[in-house]
Amino acid sequence: MTSLTKMYKWVPQRCPICDRPPTKYLGRRGGSAHREQLGVETEIWRCGGCGLTFPNPMPMPVGGLDQHYAVSPDSYFEHHDTENKTKNAVDFLTQAEALVGSKGTLLDIGAGRGELLHAGVKLGWKVIGIEPSATFAAHAAKLSGAEVRREPVEQCGFPSSSFDVVILGAVLEHLYNPDETIQEISRILRPGGALFVDVPNERGLYFVLGNLYQKLRGRDWVVNLAPTFSPFHVFGFSPKSLRALLAKHGLRPERWFVYGGVSLVPARTGLLSSVERQAAKAVTAISNVGSLGTYIVTWAIKQ
């Protein structure tokens, strides 16, 4: 057992949506099953019911979430465009207001650096953030002036039906208890309130062809998830599994988008890396058409 392996508690995992063991073994991810040896080797599986993808056993960080996220916000979000993200937050909140009928109470789970909270305060929303990382939370509170809590939403004790809008932007794939989180969000959303979710589509063309490419190279590696290295994705959703999770807790998708986004392959030197990068860009461009995109975005309404 390596020193990195000892940093995790390995917990047998059932599908949190279907409450059943996974049935489809996809391959290995991380450590010896990564071209840069990042993280620790894990087995990636898929639920035969809803199609949710996850490690089994699940590597739970012994040091808690700070083991993964105790870094500066600027370092973790080094590829994010802060100015553009702040501008987009205004458009985003305009969509939220149109869906729920007026400005109101908004909860941003995974507030990051606080751009959305900052925009919400300026536009007249009553906003609260949740951010488990101490460094991120401090940055978000300073930027926005809003209340930012560090405990999970399940431990916050918000009253039922107390929010008009809840945001889960690029967060759900990081959570170790997605079913419990969506259940709690449904409880604290008022009827007619809106939940925003943005997740990678692990059944998208990028992942399908990426896994096929690994097989053609004679490897049992997969490109799904990143349980023990940045960005630390531990659950992988598809349109089927995300719809199943939302429906389970009385949330109906009102707006639904699947899009390609940008290539996930980082720039590296070497001929092979260059070919891989160009191929990934081509796949990403193609996946902007149809429903095989790399990302899923939805606004779901509480019934």
pTM score above 0.95:
no
Task: With a cut of 60, say whether residue 267 has pLDDT above it.
Answer: no
Task: With a cut of 70, say whether residue 72 has pLDDT above it.
Answer: no
Question: Which residue do the tokens 């997969």 mark?
Answer: 222
pLDDT (mean) for 275-297? 72
Of 150, 104, 149, 110, which Cα lies nearest the Cα of 127?
104
Q: Out of 79-83, 134-138, 142-146, 179-183, which region has the weakest mean confidence (pLDDT)?
A: 79-83
Which has the higher per-residue pLDDT, 85 or 59? 59
- pLDDT tens per residue across span 204-213: 998 999 999 9
pLDDT (mean) for 252-272? 75
CATH topology for the 73-201+238-263+293-302 domain:
Rossmann fold (3.40.50)
SS3 of residue 296 by DSSP: strand
Residue 37 confidence class, pLDDT cut points 50, 70, 90? very high
pLDDT (mean) for 269-297? 71
Position 247 scores a pLDDT of: 98
Query: DSSP assignment, residue 265?
Result: S
Task: With a cut of 90, say whether residue 271 has pLDDT above it.
Answer: no
Task: With a cut of 90, say whether residue 285 has pLDDT above it.
Answer: no
CB 42 within 8 A of CB 30: yes
Q: How far apart are CA 293 and CA 205, in angstroms?
A: 6
- How many CA within 13 A on the CB side of residue 190? 13
Position 67 scores a pLDDT of: 86
Q: At 97, which amino acid appears?
A: E
Q: How much is the mean pLDDT over the chain?
A: 90
Task: With a cut of 90, say whether residue 265 has pLDDT above it.
Answer: no
CB atoms closer than 10 angstroms to residue 260: 22
Task: With a cut of 70, say whether residue 79 has pLDDT above it.
Answer: no
Which has the higher per-residue pLDDT, 271 or 303? 303
Which has the higher per-residue pLDDT, 47 or 274? 47
Of 153, 202, 156, 162, which Cα lies nearest the Cα of 182?
153
- Domain locations along the chain: 5-67+203-216, 73-201+238-263+293-302
Task: With a cut of 60, say whether residue 277 has pLDDT above it.
Answer: yes
- pLDDT tens per residue across span 90-145: 999 999 999 999 999 999 999 988 999 999 999 999 999 999 888 889 999 999 99
pLDDT (mean) for 1-14? 88
Query: Which residues have CB under 8 Å from 9's CB, separation 6+?
Result: 59, 60, 62
pLDDT (mean) for 66-74? 72
CB atoms closer than 10 angstroms to residue 249: 19
Position 36 scores a pLDDT of: 92
